[in-house]
Structure 1
């Protein structure tokens, strides 16, 4: 989504809709080229966002859900002003900061960061369960990725 400096939404930079034709077997996932994988959509979106950044000299944040927590996306070269905001899925090893060589686990680093805000939401009734409230705490931290060997 593209927004102004004041937070006014302009629209989407890129959106891709697809239907899965088949499920890949986990044992075969390393044999399939990245461009042929469903997860390539994250890399493709990042590259298109970076094109927008280049054309309009803007800061771009590419946001993904847990499916976007893949090494191929983390390893994709980005231009200055291009950042990733990923809902973590894998408790991978990370650099404590971009320049540092000291590493830690993702979950440990996130737990040690200050909360950015709490949000209470209502989860609606599902079959035999009553409505209930859940409080979500948002935490984030800029970390460095470690090359996959």
Structure 2
């Protein structure tokens, strides 16, 4: 391995591949698929051999995997909102199966909890400053995120 690659922070750490759905009005609708991995340090500096590797051994395989994810769409619109209140208009994407209206109601209930999850991630980023963590290994970073 080349010495400059050992110290290069760009080639180290956790990598993340996300597929995000965006409307034609450029409104983010949600994450369709996400995968986190660590690059094999033994493969660093071997760009000239990547064309010989099968697609399933390449990072680009993540695009193909994401294409196979099946999504369901739920459109929730409030028909009679209180006076002066903007009506609810949610377009939700889910990988969960929808068998009947009860499933839709349950998924909408879960979605209404979204702000709690958003606050959790806000605390991780702003309060715990997880994006600034620089630990010696991915395992240590994962343990730090779990606490």
TM-score by length of 2: 0.27
Q: Which has the higher helix share?
A: 2
Which one has a bigger Cα radius of gyration?
Answer: 2
